[in-house]
């Protein structure tokens, strides 16, 4: 049987792809892009992690695992690991929850739906650093309108001293633009759900909340799962711009995430060895997390 | 092949136009906004004044971005001839012996007139080697001063404090008169530790703050500094001091009249004038009268110009000519008056004074006086410490733990010194 199928396959392929080279050729652009922009730099980071060198690259010493042992014996590094987890899961959860809520609302709008949908997508076009500056101004303890509003309702806002408030600020800044992206996918997902299913449930007496949790939400699960992976990767890797523009990792170390440390130690501190070692650790963590997500969470997804 | 070469030469000539014979010199800088326009103006003035060289200024972003790009370019052998590097990058630049062309050497080898004594030693000291030779050319230097709100001071019936003891009493009177906070500070490591140490003539790090060797260790956790930070912790609790963030994030506290005093860079004068809707004054940085009778000079911040290796002799000739042009009294005086940065030569200071600038703009000479009133000592000459950008981050983190009330000054400064020393050892190892 197996033999038969493979024979049939090769026949099939020889009919449609007369040259064996063609499929590879067609794959080439993607492979080249991956090799140049991912594999090559990632390989260099791994190599760099075993060396210590001066900023100008004039001298370079092989130090074995020194860069790694230094990380794992430093309490500050473990603190940043914890910060990263709190930050990333908050960003992913908040980003998904708010976007889903907005998408459900926008899906119900009948008049001017296009206007709402377009406006909700706009923030995605804002560069991360700009988004950071925007929220930084809004929440400036002395002059920011949001801070003044909070003070008015009795909350003393000062993210320069209060670490929890600083964390809230960076989570909001990092989430805000991601909501647009999530919104787009959720809206498309919602529109793909056949109306007949929802109507049938309604006829059977299911209220709006039951219809959402028993029908809509499970049917959206492929989208939700995809967005969960994308958002976690975003929070882990792409948020150093936002943090740099708002808190620079402070106060204390309360918003120093791992990727911000990679950026700061490497590009600001010019300590390339340690920065490379940190990026390798980060790569391994995100790789592991993705495996876990695909193995355990994806099982619950209904395609 | 010949034809092609001919055509490309012709195109090249057409593109470069009138300046086709001029040697191009790239100058990477980090001056944005009004100062950036001034930099372009300076380069144009130089290009107009002679036609052998053409200086091309290229804006590369903020200080760290400019330094990082120059280093990346050097690694790719695409470096500019001249690059502006901030003061905390000095140790990294100095240690890169194969990458830099020391200014004193450049001037000697190109035969340009260069008298080091013409420059203000308080400014150039930061950028000299053990033998006093200038390694880079100071360009924009500033030093911390105390800005105060004259209107609030008048209302409270106080005058500018000279000492930290007066800071406390003056602040208390201000609080009593209804002001929310006495003072705030920008750049806490630079002002409250680095400059505090210099002003009281105590070391910030061993080995003459790193000038005498890379085997230096932090000693900013000594009694005087600890007492100062501990006092500030107490003030943070009772409102005399209010922390407002890293870098210059605290400036809005002063602009919005929440705080009556602000410690910031003397180069912030123009911005202060634009943003403060009230009358303000400038005073020297306070000192602890129990520690020292006559305070030392403060140390500088800002940036200097470094010449990089790997360029042609002709280009170096051009760079040297340009550096001489920059040091001219009229150029320096103009830059000083426009930007608020310190003049780098005595002549430029005298010229500015002669033009009546200080009389017309009270407070602009405070920084110069604070810098030059005494001879710098090895504790006030500057700092030469590796990985210092990261060390400042560590100091920021630890001080913030103090302001939040999580740590005492002693615990925080001990931790900062310990973490900082690890980075110094790392720098020593990478550059041996």
Residue whose structure tokens are 């002001």 = B179
Is B401 close to A248, i.e. CB distance below 8 A? no
Instruction: Say yes or no: B419 contacts chain A, CB-CB below 8 A.
Output: yes
What span, in angstroms and rounded, lies between the C-alpha atoms of B206 and B332?
34
Do B151 and B250 have their domain in common? yes
Q: Are strands B137-142 and B301-307 parallel, antiparallel or unpaired?
A: antiparallel
Do B246 and B395 have their domain in common? yes
Tell me, yes or no, whether B320 lies in a domain. yes
The Cα-based distances of A105 to A98, A200, A224 in angstroms read 11, 21, 17
pLDDT of residue A16: 58
Instruction: Say yes or no: A151 contacts chain B, CB-CB below 8 A.
Output: no
Tell me, yes or no, whether B63 lies in a domain. yes
Q: Do residues B170 and B248 touch, judged by C-beta distance below 8 A?
A: no
What span, in angstroms and rounded, lies between the C-alpha atoms of A285 and B427?
28
Q: In sequence order, what are the residues at sequence separation of 6 or more whose Cβ sits closer than 8 angstroms to the Cβ of residue B68?
A: A267, A268, A270
Half-sphere exposure of B352 (CA within 13 A, CB side): 28
Q: In sequence order, what are the residues at sequence separation of 6 or more whose Cβ sits closer than 8 angstroms to the Cβ of residue A220?
A: A100, A186, A189, A190, A193
Predicted confidence (pLDDT) per residue in B130-182, tens digit: 888 999 999 999 999 999 999 999 999 999 999 999 999 999 999 999 999 99
Q: Determine the average pLDDT of the residues in B54-58.
A: 96
Q: What are the backbone dihedrals phi and psi of residue B297, each rounded to the nearest 5 degrees, phi first?
A: -70, 160
Range of the domain at B193: 144-298+386-430
Do B227 and B283 have their domain in common? yes
DSSP reduced 3-state for A208:
helix
Do B151 and B126 have their domain in common? no
Q: In sequence order, what are the residues at sequence separation of 6 or more whose Cβ sits closer than 8 angstroms to the Cβ of residue B150?
A: B278, B279, B280, B281
Residue whose structure tokens are 């020194």 = A66
Do B207 and B264 have their domain in common? yes
Q: Which residue of A has its CA nearest to B100?
A: A56
Q: Do residues B391 and B385 touch, judged by C-beta distance below 8 A?
A: yes
Query: What is the torsional sign of CA B399, B405, B406, B410?
Result: positive
Do B305 and B398 have their domain in common? no
Is B244 close to A142, i.e. CB distance below 8 A? yes
What percent of chain B shows pLDDT beyond 90?
A: 74
Confidence of residue B430 (pLDDT cuts 50, 70, 90): confident
**Number of domains making up chain B:** 2
- B61 CB neighbours in chain A (<8 A) are none
Is A249 close to B390, i.e. CB distance below 8 A? no
What are the residue ranges spanned by the domains of chain A?
Answer: 66-300
Does the structure show a pLDDT above 50 at B17? no
Residues of chain A with pLDDT under 70: 1-18
Q: At what angle do helices A163-191 and A75-108 cross, to 10 degrees?
A: 40
Do B168 and B130 have their domain in common? no
Do B329 and B339 have their domain in common? yes
pLDDT of residue A18: 64
What span, in angstroms and rounded, lies between the C-alpha atoms of A269 and A18?
55
The nearest CA of chain A is from the CA of B266 a distance in Å of 22
Is A248 close to B247, i.e. CB distance below 8 A? yes
Predicted confidence (pLDDT) per residue in B185-241, tens digit: 999 999 999 999 999 999 999 999 998 889 999 999 999 999 999 999 999 999 999
Predicted confidence (pLDDT) per residue in B282-302, tens digit: 999 999 999 999 999 999 999
Q: Do residues A238 and A174 touch, judged by C-beta distance below 8 A?
A: no
**Nearest to B245, CA basis, from A245, A64, A197:** A245
Q: Which residue of A has its CA nearest to B386?
A: A269
Do B69 and B148 have their domain in common? no
pLDDT of residue B177: 96
Q: Which residue of B has its CA nearest to A265?
A: B390
What span, in angstroms and rounded, lies between the C-alpha atoms of B322 and B320?
5
CATH architecture of A66-300: Orthogonal Bundle (1.10)
Tell me, yes or no, whether B368 lies in a domain. no
pLDDT of residue A67: 92
Strand partners, A157: none
Is B68 close to A52, i.e. CB distance below 8 A? no
Predicted confidence (pLDDT) per residue in B84-141, tens digit: 999 888 988 988 889 999 999 999 999 998 998 899 888 888 898 888 899 999 999 9
Confidence of residue B362 (pLDDT cuts 50, 70, 90): confident
Instruction: Say yes or no: B309 contacts chain A, CB-CB below 8 A.
Output: no
Tell me, yes or no, whether B379 lies in a domain. no
Name the average pLDDT for chain B. 91
Instruction: Say yes or no: B180 contacts chain A, CB-CB below 8 A.
Output: no
Is A56 close to B403, i.e. CB distance below 8 A? no
Is A251 close to B404, i.e. CB distance below 8 A? yes
CATH of the domain at B269: 3.40.190.10
What span, in angstroms and rounded, lies between the C-alpha atoms of B171 and B188?
19
pLDDT of residue A3: 47
**ipTM score here?**
0.78
pLDDT of residue A87: 96
Three-state SS sequence of chain B: CHHHHHHHHHHHHHHHHHHCCCEEEEEEECCCHHHHHHHHHHHHHHHHHCCCEEEEEEECCCHHHHHHHHHHHHHCCCCCCEEEEEHHHHHHHHHCCCCECCHHHHHHHCCCCCCHHHECHHHHHHHECCCCCECCEEEEEECEEEEEEHHHHHHHCCCCCCEHHHHHHHHHHHHHCCCCEEEEECCHHHHHHHHHHHHCCCCCEHHHHCCCCCCCCECCCCHHHHHHHHHHHHHHHHCCECCCCCCCCCHHHHHCCCEEEEEEEHHHHHHHHHHCCCCEEEECCCECCCCCCCCCCCCCEEEEEEEECCCCHHHHHHHHHHHHHHHCHHHHHHHHHHHCCCCCEHHHHHHHHHCCHHHHCCCCCHHHHHHHCCCCCCCCCCCCCCCHHHHHHHHHHHHHHHHCCCCCHHHHHHHHHHHHHHHHHHHHHHCC
End-to-end CA separation in angstroms for chain A: 29
pLDDT of residue A43: 93
Three-state SS sequence of A95-106: HHHHHHHHHHHH
Q: Which residue of B has its CA nearest to A255?
A: B397
Do B173 and B49 have their domain in common? no
pTM: 0.83
Does the structure show a pLDDT above 50 at B19? no
What span, in angstroms and rounded, lies between the C-alpha atoms of B275 and B252?
9
Tell me, yes or no, whether B259 lies in a domain. yes
pLDDT of residue B106: 96
Q: At what angle do helices B388-403 and B223-238 cross, to 10 degrees?
A: 50
Do B266 and B277 have their domain in common? yes
Do B157 and B233 have their domain in common? yes
Residue whose structure tokens are 């976690």 = A232
A295: which DSSP letter? I
What span, in angstroms and rounded, lies between the C-alpha atoms of B66 and B30?
6
Does the structure show a pLDDT above 60 at B303? yes
The nearest CA of chain A is from the CA of B387 a distance in Å of 6
Q: In sequence order, what are the residues at sequence separation of 6 or more whose Cβ sits closer than 8 angstroms to the Cβ of residue A203?
A: none
Q: Do residues A151 and A67 touch, judged by C-beta distance below 8 A?
A: no
pLDDT of residue A17: 55
Predicted confidence (pLDDT) per residue in A189-224, tens digit: 999 999 899 899 999 998 888 999 999 999 999 999
Q: In sequence order, what are the residues at sequence separation of 6 or more whose Cβ sits closer than 8 angstroms to the Cβ of residue B231?
A: B164, B168
Does the structure show a pLDDT above 80 at B42? yes
Does the structure show a pLDDT above 60 at B13? no
Tell me, yes or no, whether B13 lies in a domain. no
Predicted confidence (pLDDT) per residue in B257-282, tens digit: 999 999 999 988 888 888 899 999 99
Q: What are the backbone dihedrals phi and psi of residue A49, each rounded to the nearest 5 degrees, phi first?
A: -65, -20
Residue with the larger pLDDT of the pair B11 and A243: A243
- Asked if the bond preceding A251 is cis, omega within 30° of 0, the reply is yes
Q: Which residue of B has its CA nearest to A267?
A: B68
pLDDT of residue B11: 45
């Amino acid at each position: 049987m197996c033999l038969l199928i493979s024979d049939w396959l090769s026949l099939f392929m020889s009919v449609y792809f007369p040259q064996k080279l063609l499929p590879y050729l067609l794959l080439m652009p993607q492979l080249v892009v991956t090799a140049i922009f991912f594999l090559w730099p990632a390989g260099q980071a791994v190599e760099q992690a075993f060396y210590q060198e001066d900023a100008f690259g004039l001298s370079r010493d092989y130090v074995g695992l020194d860069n790694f042992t230094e990380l794992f014996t430093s309490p500050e590094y473990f603190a940043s690991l914890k910060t990263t987890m709190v930050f990333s899961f908050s960003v992913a959860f908040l980003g998904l929850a708010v976007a889903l809520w907005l998408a459900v609302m926008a899906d119900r709008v009948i008049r001017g739906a296009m206007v709402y949908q377009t406006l909700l997508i706009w923030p995605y076009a804002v560069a991360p650093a700009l988004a950071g500056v925007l929220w930084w101004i809004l929440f400036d303890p002395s002059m920011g309108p949001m801070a003044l509003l909070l003070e008015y309702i009795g909350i003393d806002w000062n993210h320069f001293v209060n670490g929890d408030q600083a964390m809230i600020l960076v989570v909001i800044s990092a989430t805000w633009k991601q909501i647009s992206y999530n919104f787009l996918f959720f809206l498309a997902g919602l529109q793909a759900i056949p109306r007949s299913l929802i109507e049938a449930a309604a006829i059977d007496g299911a209220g709006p909340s039951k219809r959402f949790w028993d029908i809509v939400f499970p049917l959206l699960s492929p989208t939700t799962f995809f967005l969960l992976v994308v958002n976690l990767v975003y929070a882990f890797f792409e948020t150093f711009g936002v943090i740099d523009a708002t808190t620079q990792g402070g106060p204390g170390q309360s918003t120093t995430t791992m990727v911000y440390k990679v950026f700061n130690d490497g590009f600001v501190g010019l300590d390339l060895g340690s920065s490379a070692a940190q990026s390798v650790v980060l790569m391994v963590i995100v790789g592991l997390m993705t495996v876990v997500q695909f193995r355990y969470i994806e099982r619950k997804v209904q395609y | 092949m010949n034809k092609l070469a001919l055509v490309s030469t012709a195109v090249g000539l057409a593109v470069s136009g009138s300046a086709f014979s001029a040697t191009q010199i790239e100058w990477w800088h980090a001056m944005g906004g009004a100062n950036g326009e001034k930099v372009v103006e300076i380069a144009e003035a130089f290009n107009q004044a002679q036609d052998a060289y053409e200086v091309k200024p290229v804006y590369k972003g903020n200080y760290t971005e400019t330094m990082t790009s120059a280093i990346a370019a050097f690694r790719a052998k695409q470096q500019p001839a001249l690059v502006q590097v901030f003061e905390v990058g000095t140790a990294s630049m100095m240690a890169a012996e194969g990458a830099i062309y020391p200014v004193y050497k450049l001037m000697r080898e190109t035969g340009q007139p260069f008298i080091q004594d013409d420059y203000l030693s308080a400014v150039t000291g930061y950028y000299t080697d053990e033998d006093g030779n200038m390694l880079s050319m100071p360009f924009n230097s500033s030093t911390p001063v105390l800005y105060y709100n004259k209107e609030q001071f008048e209302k409270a019936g106080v005058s500018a404090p000279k000492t930290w003891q007066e800071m406390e009493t003056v602040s208390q009177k201000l609080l009593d008169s209804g002001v929310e906070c006495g003072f705030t500070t920008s750049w806490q490591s630079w002002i409250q530790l680095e400059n505090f140490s210099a002003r009281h003539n105590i070391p910030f790090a061993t080995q003459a703050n790193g000038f005498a060797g890379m085997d230096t260790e932090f000693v900013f956790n000594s009694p005087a500094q600890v007492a100062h930070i501990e006092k500030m912790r107490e003030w943070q609790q009772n409102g005399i001091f209010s922390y407002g963030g890293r870098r210059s994030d605290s400036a809005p506290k002063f602009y919005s009249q929440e705080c009556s005093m602000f410690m910031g860079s003397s180069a912030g004068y123009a911005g202060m004038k634009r943003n403060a809707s009230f009358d303000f004054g400038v005073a020297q940085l306070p000192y602890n009268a129990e520690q020292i009778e006559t305070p030392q000079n403060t140390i500088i911040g800002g940036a200097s110009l470094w010449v990089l290796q790997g360029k042609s002799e002709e280009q170096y000739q051009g760079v040297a000519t340009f550096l001489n042009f920059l040091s001219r009294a009229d150029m320096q005086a103009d830059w000083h008056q426009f930007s608020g940065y310190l003049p780098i030569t005595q002549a430029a200071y005298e010229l500015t004074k002669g033009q009546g600038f200080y009389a017309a703009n009270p407070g602009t000479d405070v920084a110069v006086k604070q810098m030059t009133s005494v001879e710098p000592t090895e504790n006030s000459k500057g700092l030469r410490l590796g990985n210092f950008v990261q060390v400042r981050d560590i100091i920021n983190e630890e001080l913030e733990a103090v302001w939040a009330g999580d740590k005492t000054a002693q615990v925080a400064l001990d931790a900062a010194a310990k973490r900082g020393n690890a980075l110094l050892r790392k720098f020593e190892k990478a550059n041996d």
